[in-house]
Amino acid sequence: MPEPSAPPVPAADAAFLLDLCAAAVGAGAALPRTLAVVGRHLGGLDGDALVRAGTTLELGGAWDLAWAGAPHGATVVGDALATAWQAGASPGPQLRAVSARLRRERRARVRAAAGALSVRLTLPLAACFLPAFVLLGLVPVVMGLARGLAW
């Protein structure tokens, strides 16, 4: 009898990955070590890509080689860290800035989708509530007025 396979690990949120890396760097970990540790604890495709990138950088590999074939979440981390790695700058502020930008963009997309949904729901709601309003609100009033006039 075959063993049931573990469910696939979903792709990690890129902003969350950036925050994890910023926390590790802020605690004093070197960038290659940060990538390896965060990737190891994250798991999945993004985690494997981070471990591979961290290990490649630790062994002296080229930056582009370290991020080759990485999925989207890991690529976002690599893009955020590229300037810091090549210039020797502190990566913490860049990680936090990119994470904040991603969250702002996500909020803007959600607000736009909510606005579009409210516009699309207007016609079905009007189609349901208008007949009910007429039958339960206006018809009794008109009937009462018609009786009062005694035609």
pLDDT of 37 higher than 80: yes
Q: What is the pLDDT of residues 64-79, one digit of tens each?
A: 999 998 898 889 999 9
Least confident of 9-13, 54-58, 76-80, 115-119: 9-13
pLDDT of 139 higher than 70: yes
Give the C-alpha separation, 66 to 55, whole Å.
Answer: 8
Q: What is the pLDDT of residue 7?
A: 67
- Token pair for 104: 């702002």
pTM surpassing 0.85? no
pLDDT of 151 higher than 60: no
Give the C-alpha separation, 107 to 88, whole Å.
Answer: 32
Output the average pLDDT for the chain: 88
Tokens 């290659």 found at: 32
Taking every pair of Cα atoms in the chain, the longest distance, rounded to a whole number of angstroms, is 98
Q: What is the pLDDT of residue 55?
A: 94
Please, which residues have CB within 8 angstroms of residue 95's CB and are 6 or more apart in sequence?
18, 19, 21, 22, 25, 77, 80, 81
